[in-house]
Amino acid sequence: MNGIKLRGTGRAVPTGVVTNDDLARRMDTSDEWITSRTGIKRRYRCAAETHTDLCVRAAKAALERAGVSPADIGACIVATVTPDTVVPSAACMLQRELGLPQDIPCFDLNAACTGFVYALHTMECLLNASPRRFGLVVGAEALSRIVDWTDRSTCILFGDGAGAAVVECREDWPSIGAVLGSRGDDELLRLPGLGMGEANFLSMEGTKVFKFAVEAVPACIDAVLDKAGMTAEDVDFFVFHQANARIIDLAVRKYRIPPEKYYKNIENYGNTAAASVPLVLSELEEQGRIGPGSRMLVVAFGGGLTWGGAMIEFA
Ligand code: ACO
Ligand 1 in reach of 302 Cβ (< 6 A)? yes
Ligand 1 in reach of 88 Cβ (< 6 A)? no
Q: What does DSSP say about strands 161-170 and 134-141: parallel, antiparallel, or unpaired?
A: antiparallel
Radius of gyration from C-alpha coordinates of the chain: 18
Specify whether the CB–CB gap between 109 and 76 falls below 8 A.
no
Ligand 1 in reach of 206 Cβ (< 6 A)? yes
Give the pLDDT confidence score for residue 38 in this predicted structure.
Answer: 96
Angle at 26 between CA 23 and CA 32, to 5 degrees: 40
Q: Identify the residue whose C-alpha is closest to ligand 1 atom 7.
A: 152
Out of 25, 153, 242, mutate this one to test ligand 1's pocket (max ligand atoms within 8 Å of CB): namely 153
Q: What does DSSP say about strands 237-240 and 296-302: parallel, antiparallel, or unpaired?
A: parallel
The fold for domain 1-315 equals Peroxisomal Thiolase; Chain A, domain 1 (3.40.47)
Specify whether the CB–CB gap between 13 and 275 falls below 8 A.
no
pTM of the model: 0.96
What are the per-10-residue average pLDDT scores of the chain (315 residues)? 96 98 97 97 96 98 98 98 97 98 98 98 98 98 96 97 98 97 97 85 96 97 98 97 97 97 98 98 96 95 98 96
Q: What is the DSSP string of 129-191?
A: T-SS-EEEEEEEE-GGGTS-TT-TTTTTTB--EEEEEEEEEETTSPP---EEEE---SSSEE-
Cα separation, 114 vs 109, whole angstroms: 10
DSSP state of 292: B
Give the pLDDT confidence score for residue 8 in this predicted structure.
Answer: 97
Give the pLDDT confidence score for residue 198 in this predicted structure.
Answer: 78
Give the pLDDT confidence score for residue 197 in this predicted structure.
Answer: 77
Out of 18, 34, 37, mutate this one to test ligand 1's pocket (max ligand atoms within 8 Å of CB): namely 37
Ligand 1 in reach of 6 Cβ (< 6 A)? no
Domain ranges of the chain: 1-315
Cα separation, 191 vs 83, whole angstroms: 13
The number of the ligand 1 atom at minimal distance from the alpha carbon of 156 is 7
